[in-house]
Amino acid sequence: MVDEIIKAMQSKMDKTVEALKKDFSIIRTGKANPMMVEDVRVDYYGTLTPLNQMGKIAIPEPRMILITPFEKGMLKDIEKAIFGAGLGLTPNNDGSNIRINIPELTGERRKELAKVVKQKGEEKKVAIRNIRRDANDDLKKHQAEMSQDDLKAQQDKIQKITDSYISKITDLEKEKEKEITTL
């Protein structure tokens, strides 16, 4: 029962860290990354469909994304969806592909992105702490089945696991900030 609580907690924390990695992959660093656009939703005959299901996304150059739609008739819709996604990217439609040039980051923009990284990291740390709180609450529901020493030991174990996840998030933040500021 205690092991199940801890496994469930770790699973939720793993998902939180993965969500942060996905959030960070979308943040522009001056280098092209297919993840910047793959989740853009395109209106495909009335259904919002992720761009990565609409065509091939390639990186032919370090600062260019090339999108080759499976259906040429979808070029205008894909272009419109990229504009509407608010990514600050300008797609260029050449009649068979869409090219997106990733502009160089200015010093001011780098500082803004570093703040966004900090904010997203902090949001995930709060989520991790909330997961810890829920696990401790679940543990307390079963305190009649264990001694005070066992309860305290399990709470300490939960705290150590929480600290390790907070540390992972801090490391991811530092890595992303370094990526943004040193390009």
The residues of the chain scoring below 50 in pLDDT are none
- What does the pLDDT read at residue 183? 58
> Considering all CA atoms of the chain, what is the largest pairwise distance in Å, rounded to the nearest integer?
71
- What does the pLDDT read at residue 30? 72
By residue count, the chain amounts to 183
Gap between the Cα atoms of 91 and 3, Å rounded: 50
Token pair of 160, please? 């150590």
Indicate where the chain has its CATH 1.10.132.20 domain(s). 1-28+106-182
- What does the pLDDT read at residue 126? 96
- What does the pLDDT read at residue 98? 93
Indicate where the chain has its CATH 3.30.1360.40 domain(s). 34-101
- What does the pLDDT read at residue 12? 96
Q: Are 52 and 65 within 8 A, CB to CB?
A: no
pLDDT tens column, 29-66: 777 888 888 888 999 888 999 998 999 999 998 889 99
- What does the pLDDT read at residue 168? 97
pLDDT tens column, 104-115: 878 887 888 888
1-28+106-182 CATH choice from 1.10.630.10, 1.10.132.20, 2.30.30.90, 2.40.10.10: 1.10.132.20
Q: Which residue has the tokens 């297919």?
A: 34
Global pTM exceeds 0.85: no
34-101 CATH choice from 3.40.50.1820, 3.40.50.720, 3.30.1360.40, 3.40.50.10890: 3.30.1360.40
> How open is the CA angle 153-157-160, to the nearest 5 degrees?
135
